[in-house]
Amino acid sequence: MRFEKVTHRILKELQRKGYNVLIAPSDCEDSENVTWKAITVPNVFEWLVALDCVGWTNIPFKEPHILPIDEALNNIDNDALFGSVFIEE
């Protein structure tokens, strides 16, 4: 187990292992130093819609931080990524 700074290289490594989403608790006080956990969901879009439907994303200041790995790789510059991710070996 280790923590790694979130970079395109790390996201690609996680993707190769089958992960497709990073999540972090909503109570993270330092938005630049978020600690992410990589998870796998069957369908990212359907999972996000389901979260919205159950109300998780409708409670102000309680929304979990969610970062789909594909979106991060395709739309966020490496220098703009932040936080660290917990990687299980």
pLDDT exceeds cutoff 80 at 3:
yes
pLDDT computed for residue 41 by the predictor: 95
Q: How many domains does the chain have?
A: 1
Give the closest residue to 26 by CA, choosing from 16, 14, 18, 35. Answer: 35
**43-82 confidence digits (pLDDT tens):** 999 988 887 665 555 555 566 789 999 999 999 999 999 9
**12-32 confidence digits (pLDDT tens):** 999 999 999 999 876 666 666
The reported pTM is 0.83
Domain ranges, residue 76 = 2-87
The model's confidence at residue 36, banded by pLDDT at 50, 70 and 90, is: very high
> How far is 75 from 35, CA to CA, in rounded Å?
20
